[in-house]
């Protein structure tokens, strides 16, 4: 009833705004206002079917105030987004909009911007913030929760799919601690673009429906150097089957609240994994095994495209095996398994590219520990974790076969082949994305008679410092190329099939940090075309786009150390 009253009040407010021109003008102006009012009253957003099982089946925080506090005995707190002064749509994903049958006209309406800035709720929305904990950089951090994310509810679309809608940057919640719950334009552009870029790369990920400028200014200290500045505020609407994280279970186990832990596990299995059957200790283990399997698949994809998350805390790990929470992320430009995009992680490099698969297993072990009170046996939990390792190893080998254009991976020969390649790639600054795309261009029929210089010529664009290609390096890379093409010939696939397979596994376009920063710079000036251009290019990351070649080029020298183009902080 309360939610219905809030909705009614919001609509009355919107209708009053729409009617103002009717009072002030007649004739054509009045007719236009009436037509605008009619559209407002018949918006497709109002037809969304909300299910909201999370709030109806799990206990709510009894304290309805929006003050920062520890929340016990509850899975969430009710909270409304903070209203903003001037919502303005920057961009939206047509593909995500189609999940909800929203047209271009729906998405470009003022009503859409008002709703996804947090100013209004449509019928059925029941906003809340989740309670969860987590291990951050290897240490238990206690209660964390949705400090700047507000869930609007879960929608069942016409295909019967469940999609949760969540606003990031829509104001404080009881879990905001000392923060303001807001987000700035730069981090929001990066979150919006990366969510969709990862989807089109074929990487399991949360999605993004919209990016809305709020018209407010937000204070941030970008470099943590005591020089905060006011920046434009923005809100991203994120979309996923569920935003439940490992930390949702960890916080309950840490508090010894076994009954609520069991209730949350039952809810998760019934709602998110109904194919597993009725919850029981055996099904708990089947569910954990599936989470391990999905997480391993996600890790394989991260390694395939060179993605580095930067903040792989357990509160940033999805129970669906989705990439979630795009903060200081990045793509490997020069191949360096020790690289992290996160300035906070610069010294320890816990979340460096080469360590991500191991960290995922560590995080899964923390999830398994939180489930121990429901199972009280260690061996079956260890068996579930072993599935992660097996799935990752098998998936990684298959992935490398794809990147090299091989029909199958033969451990007897291919482990040494790939190990040597990644050793050589580290010797001279080499762009990982470009190297594998260029490798597909080489012709195995012309390898044996070619000199090392001729062999490397098609690969030169992948090197940041080609002057460092010594004769010793050329000889080693030349030897690897000859070994590789000997393996290609033994594999038996045609050159055409090899190239097609490689180009289906190795993207040409990724969201390099400097490209995102260029879009951010333009957006800060009120020019959003670069955001939308990047969104369009990243829809087809494996395709040749002849008029967009500049976006496939390696990082320019000016971007090597520029803020936002290399490493990033957690500030947003």
- Tokens standing for residue 43: 């918006």
Sign of the C-alpha dihedral computed for residues 425, 427, 430 and 435 taken in this order? negative
Taking a C-beta distance cutoff of 8 angstroms, is the pair 422, 336 a contact? Answer: no
Sign of the C-alpha dihedral computed for residues 508, 514, 516 and 518 taken in this order? negative
Taking a C-beta distance cutoff of 8 angstroms, is the pair 263, 242 a contact? Answer: no
* SS3 state of residue 307: strand
Taking a C-beta distance cutoff of 8 angstroms, is the pair 85, 202 a contact? Answer: no
Taking a C-beta distance cutoff of 8 angstroms, is the pair 156, 162 a contact? Answer: yes
Q: What kind and span of H or E run contains 111?
A: helix 110-117
* SS3 state of residue 129: strand
Sign of the C-alpha dihedral computed for residues 124, 128, 133 and 134 taken in this order? positive
| Beta carbons within 10 angstroms of residue 559's beta carbon | 18
Write the burial class of residue 176 (CB in 10 Å: 0-12 exposed, 13-18 middle, 19+ buried).
buried
SS (H, E, C) 139-156: EEEEECCCCCEEEEEEEE
d(CA 535, CA 139): 36
From the candidates 61, 126, 146, 315, give the one annotated as an active-site residue.
Answer: 315
- Tokens standing for residue 372: 């121990």
List CB contacts of 553: < 8 A, sequence separation 6 or more: 461
Residue for token pair 């859409």 = 112
Angle, nearest 10°, between helix axes 258-272 and 281-305?
60
* Helices and strands per DSSP (H, E), number in the chain: 19, 11
Question: Does residue 63 carry a catalytic annotation?
Answer: no
With b meaning 16 or more CB within 10 Å and e meaning fewer, what string describes 469-488?
A: beeebbebbbebbbebbebb
Which DSSP category does 214 fall into?
E
Report CA 207 to chain centroid distance, whole Å.
Answer: 7
Please give the positions annotated as active site: 315
């Amino acid at each position: 009833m309360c939610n219905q009253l809030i909705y009614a009040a919001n609509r009355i407010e919107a209708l009053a705004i729409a009617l103002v021109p009717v009072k002030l003008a007649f004739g054509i102006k009045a007719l236009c206002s009436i037509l605008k009012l009619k559209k407002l009253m018949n918006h497709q957003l109002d037809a969304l079917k909300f299910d909201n099982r999370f709030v109806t089946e799990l206990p709510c925080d009894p304290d309805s105030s929006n003050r920062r506090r520890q929340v016990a005995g509850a899975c969430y707190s009710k909270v409304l987004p903070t209203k903003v002064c001037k919502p303005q749509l920057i961009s939206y994903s047509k593909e995500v909009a189609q999940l909800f049958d929203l047209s271009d006209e729906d998405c470009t309406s003022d009503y859409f911007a008002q709703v996804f800035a947090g100013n209004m709720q449509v019928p059925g929305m029941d906003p809340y913030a989740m309670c969860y904990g987590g291990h951050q950089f290897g240490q238990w951090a206690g209660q964390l929760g949705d400090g700047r994310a507000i869930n609007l509810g879960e929608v069942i679309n016409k295909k019967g799919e469940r999609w949760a809608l969540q606003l990031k940057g829509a104001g404080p919640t009881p879990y905001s601690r000392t923060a303001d719950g807001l987000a700035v334009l730069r981090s929001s552009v990066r979150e919006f673009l990366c969510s969709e870029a990862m989807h089109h790369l074929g990487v399991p990920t949360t999605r993004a429906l919209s990016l809305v400028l709020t018209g407010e200014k937000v204070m941030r200290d970008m470099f943590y150097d005591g020089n905060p500045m006011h920046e434009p505020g923005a809100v991203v609407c994120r979309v996923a089957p569920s935003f439940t994280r490992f930390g949702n279970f960890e916080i309950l186990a840490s508090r010894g609240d076994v009954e609520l832990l069991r209730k949350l596990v039952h809810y998760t299995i019934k709602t998110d994994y109904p194919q597993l059957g009725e919850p029981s200790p055996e099904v708990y283990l089947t569910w954990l095994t599936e989470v391990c399997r999905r997480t391993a698949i996600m890790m394989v994809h991260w390694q395939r495209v060179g993605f580095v998350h930067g903040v792989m805390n357990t509160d940033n790990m999805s129970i669906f095996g989705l990439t979630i929470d795009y903060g200081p992320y990045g793509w490997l430009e020069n191949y360096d398994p020790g690289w992290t995009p996160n300035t906070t992680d610069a010294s320890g490099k816990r979340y460096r590219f080469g360590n991500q698969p191991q960290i995922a297993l560590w995080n899964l072990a923390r999830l398994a520990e939180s489930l121990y009170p429901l199972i009280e046996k260690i061996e079956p939990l260890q068996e579930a974790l072993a599935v992660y390792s097996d799935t990752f190893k098998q998936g990684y080998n298959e992935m490398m076969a794809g990147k090299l254009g091989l029909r199958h991976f033969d451990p007897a020969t291919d482990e040494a082949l790939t190990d040597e390649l990644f050793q050589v790639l580290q010797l001279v600054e080499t762009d990982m994305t470009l190297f594998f795309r260029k490798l597909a261009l080489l012709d195995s029929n012309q390898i044996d008679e070619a000199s090392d210089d001729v062999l490397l010529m098609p690969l030169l664009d992948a090197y940041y410092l080609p002057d460092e290609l010594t004769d010793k390096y050329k000889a080693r890379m030349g030897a690897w190329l000859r070994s590789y093409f000997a393996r290609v010939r033994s594999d038996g696939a045609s050159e055409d099939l090899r190239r097609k397979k490689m180009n289906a596994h190795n993207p040409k376009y990724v969201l390099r940090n400097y490209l995102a920063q260029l879009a951010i710079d333009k957006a800060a000036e009120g020019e959003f075309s670069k955001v939308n251009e990047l969104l369009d290019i990243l829809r087809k990351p494996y395709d040749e786009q002849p008029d967009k070649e500049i976006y496939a080029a390696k990082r320019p020298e000016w971007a090597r150390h520029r803020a936002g183009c290399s490493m990033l902080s957690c500030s947003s």
